[in-house]
Amino acid sequence: MADDKDVLRDVWFGRIPTCFTLHQDEVTEREAEPFYLLLPRVSYLTLVTDKVKKHFQKVMKPDDVEEMWFEYEGTALKWHYPIGLLYDLHASNTALPWSIFVHFKNFPLQDLLHCPSNSVIEAHFMSCIKEADALKHKGAVVNEMQKKDHKQLWMGLQNDKFDQFWAMNRKLMEYPIEERGFRYIPFRIYQPTSDRPFIQKLFRPVSPDGHVHTLGDLLKEMLPAAIPKDNEKKKYQVVIHGIEPMLETPIQWLSEHLSHPDNFLHISIIPAQCD
Amino acid sequence: MPSSLLWAVDVFGRVYSLSPTSQQWDLCKEAQLEIKRITATQQCCWAIACDHQIYLNVYASDVPIRYQEETYENQRWNPMDGFSDRLLPSDRWQWSDVTGLKHQPLDSFRLPSDNWEWEADWYVDENFGGEATEKAGWTYAIDFPASYTKDKKWNSCVRRRRWIRFRRYKARDTWAKVSSELPGSLPDPFSDISCGGWEITEEPMGLISLWAVTLQGKVWFREDIHHQNPEGSAWVEVQCPGEVVQISCGPGDLVWAVMWEGHLLVREGIGRDCPKGTSWAEVQSPSPEFGAIHVAVGVSVVWAVTKDRKVWFRRGINSHNPCGSGWISMVGEMVMIDVGVNDQVWGISSEDRAVYFRQGVTSSELSGKAWRALTSLRDGDRSSSRSSAGSLASAGCFFSNEVTVQSQGSVPGDMDMEPEGASGGNPDPQEQADASKRRIPKVTSDSFISELVSDREGQPEKHEGTVVAPIPEEEAETEQEVKVAPAVVLSRSPSGRPDHAWSNVDLEEAQGRLAVGCPASDTGDSCSLSSVATYNLDEPYGADDHPIWAWVNGGSCVVDSHSQLNWFNSGVSSAQSMSLSVSPAQTAAWRKQIFEQLSERSKREMENFRHYEQAVEQAVWVKKGTMQWWRDWKPYKWVDVHFALEQFCGTDGNKEGIIFIYYTFNDEKKYLHTFINEVTILVPVLSDSKHTFAIYTPERTKQRWPIRLAVATEQEMHDWLALLSVSCCDSRGIQGPPCKQAIWSVTCKGDIFVSEPTPSLEASPYPMPCDQMYWHQIGGHLRVIECNSLGVVWGIGYDHTAWVYTGGYGGGFFQGLASSTDNIYTQTDTKSVYIYENQRWNPVTGYTNRGLPTDRYMWSDASGLQECTKENTKLPSPQWAWVNDWTVDYNVSGGTDKEGWQYAADFPTSFHGSKTLKDFVRRRRWARKCKLTTTGPWKEVPPIPLSEITTLPCMAASRMEHVPLWAISSKGDVLCRLDVTVQAPAGTSWLHVGTDQPFKSICIGSAHQVWAIARDGSVFYRGSVSPQNLAGDCWYHIPSPPRQKLKQVSVGRTSVYAVDENGNLWFRQGLTPSYPQGSSWEHISTNVRKVSVGPLDQVWIIADKVQGSHSLSCGTVCRRLGVLPMEPKGLSWDYGIGGGWEHITVRGNSTEAPRISMPSMVGGPTPASGAPRGTPPVSIPDVMNGNAVRS
């Protein structure tokens, strides 16, 4: 008899065991040991890798150190995507720990945004929250909050304080009972091999005739290919936070419980395993 | 608590009831007659029908109303025949009552009325004061007026035996006419009725006063109404100074009446010994021009209505002054007013005839704040939009019958009928409505109502024209349908036969009519009539035209300041029930799947990597405060300290913490510290003077000397307790609801604690010491809690209310994330606080409150050691609130005299209920009730109050369709709960299991062996209980241990243990599958208060007088050591948490430790911790991120 609150906790405390290895192209003074960390799924790579940076800088000449970036099997990892999304999208179903190469040179400008400091991450995070609230409540809730409330959301994420974050985030998840949900569901659908970075459109939690929209309804409208046709083998996995919710799951519930701290429901559509 | 209902009668004489949580008036279907007035109690309601006779409706209950008739068969021994029924001429009758004065042979017993039935024939009672007699049940004595023994002796000259027979009240949930016992004595027809007075005497008796007024203005009182005699026995006329028109009786001792001239009468002298009262006092009408026409009284309020419809409130009413002191004019114009439970007030407005509720009535503001109209709809008011579940539920059996008829009647017709069937989903009340509407004139007793009604009489005809429409459409269909459709309609509404009994349209009847109906189908007239009845009759009472009420009664409606009332805005409910987070989708597959996948994910991604460093370090975090600390050394006293909780992240990712207490001793600053992960329990110790709590560690438990701390306010204490508790749970990795195997316990304050058992707890031979168990608190307030390993958990409050666990956690002072949200409910409990008034006799003045200098306080606690006056006795803790004033308690063991006094030769001796020459002191007990309101994961299981509960202990993997759960009601009835499942642990209803006497303890073992103890100490084994035969078949009387009265029994997998009234623990020897009753009792231990035997046959007790190294404790949790399958008695005790514990249940814990193989006992002790099974070995590198890894 689990409680919905436990879901929030499980989502927040999701961790990905990661092994950071310095890429062989990097020049070092002595051999660099790999570095192991438990990364919070809901956080951002550049926010939680200070230790990694320090670890590898010890074996490098200061001149060789430029902006740190990460690569997994040839893909440059976008720091502005939540870590859990990056893992689900690129490395689902692979053996743990997740092996990431660390680079300090040849920053791939065409793929990545610069991240000179944490304030850039904060700005990105807050803009996501504002965008999500614009969809959910026409921005009413986030605009009513004070500067310190915004800070509380960010500090909660940065310091991995679940209680602190959710004390504030709860307000963003409220809606009038008679409306039966948010105005629109803030969601983004990602595919590992796609030209577009993600799909994002307006989608209501309840249809005009009062029918509750499900995850299946959302995909049917946004990406019909993701839904297995009758009698056909499943071609794609629909992954949120490393799990595959049933297509019958109400989208409003998912938005309330499985959104990332940026208030978006990040959905990865990855090819199904062939085994 | 019985269910709570507001009753009302409309101008057509239809009776409706409304529950505080409902938005809809339910029509009382059983009423075949028009009712004029109604007066209700929690158990039954009384009514005057249009025939001016009185009818009684006793609510259905799972517990029958049983009355035990008894008579004695007497015999005398003579040398010729031995014992025979030939008695001496001076002897008593051969068949007599217990005193021998009354001749009562078996065939002299008659049922008091047609509403009773015999349960079985007469039989001999073989139980004699808790002991089984010889087969025939004879008890022997030297002569008749002597004491009897069960053994025949040489000088036993007479013998007698007791025959018993039960009769049962059968007219429940129906209006039964209260027969007039003597034709001549019955007065003229009744015109008003009012019942109350149930607060004058205590529960076990349950006396009810019923007052009635006749058309001639006489007042009558019904004698001897109580639980076992719901009809009462006789009418007694109460003389009054004039003609009375209306009377009102409150729950307490207030009775007021209105006289024809408009004055009011107040009954005086009502009391425990004289429920009728002794005299009348007169009170003038509130208004000089207009006399009173209506009065309504509660416990301490009086409301009146004058002829100009003005409402008045009487000032200054209290138990010493039932007349009050003056009238206050209130806003609003009412036809009548009623005062219900808790002095809540309802009225019927003279303007629109709607029912109004007086909002804001509290014990401090008895006149309330404002009138508010009830907008609740009636059955059938919303027929067109009413395919909702609520209306279907109230349709009950009618609906299901209807479906059967349709499907049998015609398949093609189904399509056409369906929408109509759905919209008329509850046709019967409407039909009834229609039927009674046709008979309007009969009902109208009051000219105002007849006026109203005559306005409306044209309307039904008008509507007939509009509704005939569906019929031609049906006729246009195929011939077959024409035949069927009217038949179906007819089956629902045979309005062509006005004398038909409405209450039971059963299938056979419907089918019968189907045949009758067919030939008639071509007469369009009957068709149109019936369709009017079915479809449209509620039209005149649509949204714009509300019902017209004639009478309202709140005598069974329990409403108080925190009650949720759904009466006022009927539109909102649908929206709320749609909200996702509270929908029944709780159990939906998608939700379950997400929970499962998330825990799988955590396992997959984190389990083997716990030794990895966290990316985000948790900083050390400190909370400080000032407190007082009960110093560890003499002289013991409260000293001011600084308290700090430091929290940080441990190496394994768990949060850790340390408690620091900084104090000053001899001007030197010192501190005491305790690691959070060593804390075993945090116990709130609310007292009237200080907000204190206790912190235990295993060491402190051994000492029986916790760290005791006090803070300034209750809020501060709750904040600290919540914080420390979360911190302790975090350090032990405990979150969410307790597991199904959990061990539950309750303290003497009613606080609930739960402990998650580890496999090592019941490991043998080296179990984890039980002082190391970690307990955390769960919200709520209970006296008893029982569970099993399937997660079925029930509790009983101090007020005997039954509660079922909802699967949540937190509640009480746990707020926010330490508490679940979905399944936390409000919980209330009441208990009484007792003080004693002591007096000593002296030859001059008799008994006075002047004692000897050596005597106890003249106002004291039970022991006499503490002074307790009415004024200085405080609430048990700030959580409680008083609900009444001090009253004399007559319900004391040993009995009392009429004023509640008990007598004794001197103070510290046993008291008895009547004065003798040797008695020099007396005392009486005063009681005052108080009430607590809190929250917790508990849901009430109404309506039967319970005193004991037990559920079958089993292995966690067991599968049972229905979980056996037995209980004992507060009156001593044995009950068996039906349809208890893991998904729905509350079950559906009680099955009453007959007994000859009230019971007090019951327990069911793993093999369905049910043991029980009666109030007289007799032990019983219930035969043939099985999953197929839940209630078993008969009771076997088991002898008690010699000279001991058992009081509690617990049955595990095979073991049976019992505790007697002197605190001895007994083990039942010689139990075998073929002889489950066993052979004898073996003494195990003394100083035992309660025992709980679990599914592993583990034995846990609450023990008294446990000596610790610093202090002695009473009410301590202990566990029997050395219990093995072949050694079920165990060897010694292991002492756990306490004192101050009241109850424990280990019946959920079936977690067995992995068996440790002990090849040779000679080989020295084996380490106790077995390797955990099931987890694959993970190779952990020795060095990681440059640091050594600690495992």
Query: CB distance B598–A159 less than 8 Å?
Result: no
Integer angstrom CA distances of residue A201 from A186, A222, B789, B1045: 8, 8, 49, 76
pLDDT score for B1183: 55
- The mean-pLDDT minimum among B109-113, B583-587, B853-857 falls in B583-587
Query: CB distance A38–B615 less than 8 Å?
Result: yes
Query: CB distance B594–A7 less than 8 Å?
Result: yes
Which of B579, B581, B614 shows the shortest C-beta gap to A38? B614
Is residue B158 within 8 A of residue B77, CB to CB? The reply is yes
Closest residue by Cα to residue B554 from B298, B217, B290: B298
pLDDT band at B450 (very low <50, low <70, confident <90, very high): very low
Burial group, residue B667, by CB count within 10 angstroms (0-12, 13-18, 19+): exposed
Q: What b-and-e string marks burial along B343-353, b requiring 16 or more CB atoms within 10 Å of the CB?
A: bbbbbbbbeeb
User: How far apart (Å, rounded) are the C-alpha atoms in residues B59 and B648?
Assistant: 60
Check whether B507 has a pLDDT greater than 70. Answer: no
Burial group, residue B961, by CB count within 10 angstroms (0-12, 13-18, 19+): exposed
Three-class secondary structure of residue A212 per DSSP: strand
- Return the residue matching tokens 């001899």: B666
pLDDT band at B730 (very low <50, low <70, confident <90, very high): confident
Residues 735-754, chain B: which have Cβ within 8 Å of A?
735-737
Tokens for A128, please give them. 């996501």
Check whether B494 has a pLDDT greater than 80. Answer: no
Return the residue in B578, B603, B616, B820 with the most chain A beta carbons within 10 A, the one to mutate for interface testing. B616
pLDDT score for B397: 33
Identify the residue with better confidence: B85 or B167: B167
pLDDT score for B487: 37
pLDDT score for B1187: 58
CATH fold for the domain made of A180-269: Ubiquitin-like (UB roll) (3.10.20)
Tens digit of each residue's pLDDT (9 = 90 or more) over A86-125? 999 998 888 888 999 999 888 888 888 888 888 899 999 9
Task: Tell me the β-bridge partners of B682.
Answer: B695
> Can the peptide bond before residue B943 be classed as cis, meaning omega within 30 degrees of 0?
yes
Check whether B776 has a pLDDT greater than 90. Answer: yes
Tokens for A109, please give them. 């400008």
Tens digit of each residue's pLDDT (9 = 90 or more) over A65-80? 888 899 998 888 999 9
Check whether B885 has a pLDDT greater than 70. Answer: yes
What's B706's DSSP letter?
-
Mean pLDDT within B946-963: 90
Identify the residue with better confidence: B588 or B177: B177
Is residue B510 within 8 A of residue B504, CB to CB? The reply is no
Residues in chain A with CB shorter than 8 Å from the CB of B1186 are 33, 55
User: How far apart (Å, rounded) are the C-alpha atoms in residues B942 and B190?
Assistant: 34
The answer to whether the Cα torsion of B681, B686, B689, B690 is positive or negative is positive
pLDDT score for B590: 85
Is residue B1089 within 8 A of residue B1140, CB to CB? The reply is no
Query: CB distance A17–B590 less than 8 Å?
Result: no
Check whether B484 has a pLDDT greater than 70. Answer: no
Check whether B1145 has a pLDDT greater than 90. Answer: yes
Which of B589, B600, B820 shows the shortest C-beta gap to A3? B820
Is residue A229 within 8 A of residue A219, CB to CB? The reply is no
Mean pLDDT within A218-224: 89
Task: Tell me the β-bridge partners of B692.
Answer: B685, B710
Closest residue by Cα to residue A46 from A28, A20, A26, A13: A20
**Percent of chain B at pLDDT exceeding 70:** 78
Tens digit of each residue's pLDDT (9 = 90 or more) over A38-71? 899 999 998 888 888 888 888 888 887 888 899 9
Which of A3, A97, A160 shows the shortest C-beta gap to B616? A160
User: How far apart (Å, rounded) are the C-alpha atoms in residues A185 and B1038?
Assistant: 68
pLDDT score for B227: 84
Please tell me which residue of chain B has the smallest CA distance to A213. B580
- Taking domain A13-103, whether its CATH number is 3.10.20.620 is answered by yes
What's B1170's DSSP letter?
P
Residues in chain B with CB shorter than 8 Å from the CB of A36 are 612-613, 1184-1185
Task: Establish whether domains A13-103 and A180-269 are of one fold.
Answer: yes
pLDDT band at A235 (very low <50, low <70, confident <90, very high): confident
Please tell me which residue of chain B has the smallest CA distance to A245. B594
Cβ within 8 Å of residue A24, ≥6 positions away: none
pLDDT band at B226 (very low <50, low <70, confident <90, very high): confident
Highest mean pLDDT among A184-188, A225-229, B383-387, B598-602: A184-188
The structural domains of chain A, with segments of one domain joined by +, span 13-103, 117-174, 180-269
Q: What are phi and psi of A10, to 5 degrees?
A: -60, -40
Tens digit of each residue's pLDDT (9 = 90 or more) over A5-22? 788 888 998 999 999 998
User: How far apart (Å, rounded) are the C-alpha atoms in residues B28 and B14?
Assistant: 8
Check whether B371 has a pLDDT greater than 70. Answer: yes
Is residue B188 within 8 A of residue B235, CB to CB? The reply is no
Mean pLDDT within B952-970: 90
Biggest distance spanned by C-alpha atoms of chain A? 68
Residues 567-596, chain B: which have Cβ within 8 Å of A?
575-576, 578-581, 585, 588-591, 593-595
Would an 8 Å CB–CB cutoff place B820 in contact with chain A?
A: yes
Residues in chain B with CB shorter than 8 Å from the CB of A3 are 736-737, 808-809, 820-823
pLDDT score for B846: 83
**Helix-, strand-, coil-residue percentages of chain B, each rounded to 5:** 15, 35, 45
Check whether B438 has a pLDDT greater than 80. Answer: no
What's the gap between Cα A40 and its chain centre?
A: 10
Check whether B838 has a pLDDT greater than 50. Answer: yes
Q: Write down the mean pLDDT value for chain B.
A: 78
**Helix-, strand-, coil-residue percentages of chain A, each rounded to 5:** 35, 15, 45
- Taking domain A117-174, whether its CATH number is 1.10.246.190 is answered by yes
User: How far apart (Å, rounded) are the C-alpha atoms in residues B161 and B995?
Assistant: 18
User: How far apart (Å, rounded) are the C-alpha atoms in residues A43 and B118?
Assistant: 75
Query: CB distance A159–B807 less than 8 Å?
Result: no
Q: At what angle do helices B459-467 and B427-438 cross, to 10 degrees?
A: 140
Identify the residue with better confidence: B32 or B473: B32
Identify the residue with better confidence: B638 or B896: B638
What DSSP line would sit under B824-855, residue for residue?
A: -EEEEEEEEEEEEEEEEEETTTEEES---TTS
Mean pLDDT within B658-681: 90
Mean pLDDT within A197-224: 89
Three-class secondary structure of residue B82 per DSSP: strand
What's B342's DSSP letter?
G
User: How far apart (Å, rounded) are the C-alpha atoms in residues B686 and B693?
Assistant: 7
Return the residue in A3, A100, A157 with the most chain B beta carbons within 10 A, the one to mutate for interface testing. A3
Query: CB distance B614–A5 less than 8 Å?
Result: no
User: How far apart (Å, rounded) are the C-alpha atoms in residues B553 and B594?
Assistant: 50
pLDDT score for B335: 92
pLDDT score for B653: 56
pLDDT band at B895 (very low <50, low <70, confident <90, very high): confident
Mean pLDDT within B1135-1152: 90
- Return the residue matching tokens 């109004």: B356
- The mean-pLDDT minimum among B201-210, B239-248, B549-558 falls in B201-210
First to last CA, chain A: 34
Check whether B947 has a pLDDT greater than 80. Answer: yes
What DSSP line would sit under B711-739, residue for residue?
A: ESSHHHHHHHHHHHHHHHHHHTT--SSPP
Residues 601-620, chain B: which have Cβ within 8 Å of A?
601-602, 604-606, 608-609, 612-616, 618-619
- The mean-pLDDT minimum among A219-233, A237-251, B515-529, B940-954 falls in B515-529
Cβ within 8 Å of residue B161, ≥6 positions away: B72, B73, B124, B125, B133, B136, B137, B138, B139
Mean pLDDT within B871-880: 83
Query: CB distance A163–B817 less than 8 Å?
Result: yes
**Percent of chain B at pLDDT exceeding 90:** 31
Query: CB distance A212–B580 less than 8 Å?
Result: yes
Q: Which ipTM score applies to this complex? A: 0.92
Which of B588, B593, B616 shows the shortest C-beta gap to A48? B616
CA angle A106, A112, A114 (to 5 degrees): 80
pLDDT score for B591: 85
Identify the residue with better confidence: A220 or B621: A220
Return the residue in B612, B982, B1189 with the most chain A beta carbons within 10 A, the one to mutate for interface testing. B612
Residues in chain B with CB shorter than 8 Å from the CB of A43 are 615-616
- Return the residue matching tokens 């569901």: A185
Secondary structure in 3-state letters for B908-949: CCCCECCCCCCCCEEEEEEEEEEEEEEEECEEECCCCCEEEE
- At position A243, the amino acid (one-letter code) is I
Mean pLDDT within B1099-1115: 85
Tens digit of each residue's pLDDT (9 = 90 or more) over B385-394? 333 333 333 3
